[in-house]
Amino acid sequence: MHFSLLMALATLASPFRGVAAAFSMQLIEREMPVVFSLPVDYHPVSQAKLQKRNPSPTVEADTMLYDLTPFVKLSVGTPPQLIGLAVDLQMGFIAFLVPNTTDCVPQSNATSAQYNCAADDYCATMGYFCPASSSTMKSIQPSKSDPEGPVNADVVTVGSQRVDGVHMWLNDISPGAYSRMGIAPGSPFLYLMVDQGFINSPSFSLWSYGTPNNQGQLLFGGVNKAMYKGTLQAFPLSGPNNNVNMPIAAVVVESGGNSTAGPTTTRYNLADSTTAVLSTIDIFTFLPNKTVQQIYADLDITPTFIPSFNASMGIVDCARTQSENRTVSLVFGNATISVPWSELFIPFEDDTCEFTIVPYRPDLTYGPGSELQIGAIVLQYMYLAVDYDNMFAAVAPLNPNPGPDNILEIGNGTRIPDADGNFPATITPYGAPTLTTTTTGSLPTSTTASKAQAITFTPRAMDIILGVSGAILAVI
C-alpha cells in the first residue's frame, strides 16, 4: 500500500485564528485545498481466526479480525520504517508495536521474554517499529496536564511529508496488542499537522469504496463531495469520554418479500438521547435492548442463550444470510445508512452465524457493550467527516457510482455549503502557534501554545483492557 499526497501541502504554519466564528464545518473550495490523503485497506488479519470469536468480555482484539477495520501505513523514525496501523476513532494517540528487546534481535532462549512477529497475527500484518534503529527517537517527559501520557516521540512520514515530534506509545508485541492510529478528539497528531502547515483545521474524512474493493481513503483537512450522496448531516459531539459519536434517530428494517407476501418496511424511532459512539475496531453495533428485540422479531431471529458468553445472541443458519433479501438501516437526521443483512453476520460455529446488532448492556461499566455503539460494519457503509475545531461529526450515505474527486477544504468560517445541522453561534478555532524570530537570528520560538503537546484525555477502561495477556496497551 502506497501513500499518496492528494494536493500540494502548505509549508508555513498559519497564524493563530483567535476570532470567533460560527459553529460550523466550513467547506472551502480552492484550486489547491490544503489537504492530503492516505489509502485505507480493509482486510482480515487471519482467516484462521474467523471461525469463532472469543467469549471473554475483556478481549476486544478478536472483533478486529474481520475485513472491516481500516488500516493505513505510516513511516516512523529515521531512516523510515513502514508500519501498518488500525485507524481508531476512540483513541487519541498513535501506538506502535515494538519488540521487547532493546536491540530488536529476537531472543534465542525460549525461556526468556521473546517475541515472534511471524507467529503473531497483528505483527505479521502490521510489522513492528524498532526504536533502536531510529536516530530521531526521543524520550520525553509527560505533560503536566497528562502525567500518564506517552514518553516517546519521533518523526512520522506521510508520503514525502515529514511530521516532527509525534508523541507515541510503544507497546510490546504480545497477544491482543496491535498498532493504532488514534484520531479521537484531541488527537495530538491532527494538531501537529495544523502546527506544521499540512492542514488548516484538525479534521478528517473517512470512507470506503465498498465491500468488494476492500479499500478506502482517510482524507485529512477536507471532504470529497464525489464520494457521498445528498447533503452531509452534522451533529455536535457530546459526552465526557472523548469519543466520536452521533445520535441515532431510528432503525428501519426492510424485507424483500416472497411469492406470497410483498416487501415490508418497519421503522423504530429511538429516543432523542440515543447517542452512540462510532468504532472502527469493534464490529458489533450495540442498541437499546427493546429495539434489538424488535429487530430480531422482524428478521425472524430467535435469541439463543450461549452459556460460554452468558448472553442471548442472534444465531441463525448461515445459509439464511445469503438466501433472504433484507436490509437494516440506521437513520441520522435526514441521512439513512443502509446495510444488507448478509453483511451483518459473522461466523459463529459449525454452519451458524451471529447477528452483529446486539443489545447494549447498561449494567457494564466498561468494555464492549457498555455503551451504545455503531460498529465497524455499519461504519463501512457511511461517509464520515469530523471537525474538531467545531466539535461535530457529519455523515452521509456513500455514493456507489462516484464521479471525479471534488475536494473541499474544511475551514473555520460561518457557512456550511454542504452540511445541515443545528450549530451554536460561535467557536474559537484552533490556530497553529505563532512563530517569532529574534534580531540575533536565532531559531523561531513559539509565542502561543500548541495543542499538539498539551492534550488532556479522559482515561477509558475499555482502552486499558487488551486481551489475554492483561497488558496495558494505552491509557488515554
Domains of the chain: 26-227+405-433+446-463 (2.40.70.10), 232-382 (2.40.70.10)
Q: What is the Cα–Cα distance from 384 to 343, expressed in whole angstroms?
A: 19
Q: What is the Cα–Cα distance from 315 to 326, expressed in whole angstroms?
A: 16
Q: What is the Cα–Cα distance from 267 to 270, expressed in whole angstroms?
A: 10
pLDDT at 228: 95
Among 470, 455, 457, which residue's Cα sits nearest to residue 166?
Answer: 455
pLDDT at 5: 36
- Angstrom CA distances, 177 to 101, 147, 167, stand at 16, 23, 18
Which residue is associated with the grid cell 447533503? 231
Which residue is associated with the grid cell 485545498? 33
Taking the CB of residue 254, how many other CB atoms lie within 10 A of it? 18
pLDDT at 213: 74
Runs of H (alpha helix) within 342-467: 376-379
Contact residues for 370 (Cβ-Cβ < 8 A; gap 6+): 361, 362, 364, 462
Which residue is associated with the grid cell 457510482? 401
Neighbour order of strands in the sheet with 373-374: 245-247, 275-278, 373-374, 285-287, 357-359
pLDDT at 330: 98
All cell numbers assigned to 204:
478528517
Among 53, 280, 90, which residue's Cα sits nearest to residue 185?
Answer: 90
Q: Which amino acid, one-letter code, is at 143?
A: S
Among 244, 261, 274, which residue's Cα sits nearest to residue 460?
Answer: 244
Contact residues for 271 (Cβ-Cβ < 8 A; gap 6+): none
Helix (H, G, I), strand (E, B) or coil at 122: helix
Q: What is the Cα–Cα distance from 111 to 102, expressed in whole angstroms?
A: 17
pLDDT at 367: 82
Residues of the chain falling short of pLDDT 50: 1-24, 47-52, 54-63, 107-113, 259, 414-417, 435-448, 454-476
Q: What angle do CA 387, 391, 397 make, to 5 degrees?
A: 55
Q: What is the Cα–Cα distance from 310 to 296, expressed in whole angstroms?
A: 19
pLDDT at 211: 66
Return the bridge partners of 445, or none.
436
Angular region, 113: left φ>0, alpha ψ -120 to 50, beta rest: beta
- Angstrom CA distances, 376 to 58, 135, 142, 356, 419, stand at 18, 37, 32, 10, 23
All cell numbers assigned to 186:
484531541
- Cβ proximity of 409 and 254 under 8 Å: no
pLDDT at 78: 95
Q: Tell me how long the chain is.
A: 476
pLDDT at 50: 44
Among 167, 180, 177, 186, which residue's Cα sits nearest to residue 92?
Answer: 186
Q: What is the Cα–Cα distance from 195 to 230, expressed in whole angstroms?
A: 33
All cell numbers assigned to 346:
459473522
Neighbour order of strands in the sheet with 335-340: 264-269, 250-255, 326-332, 335-340
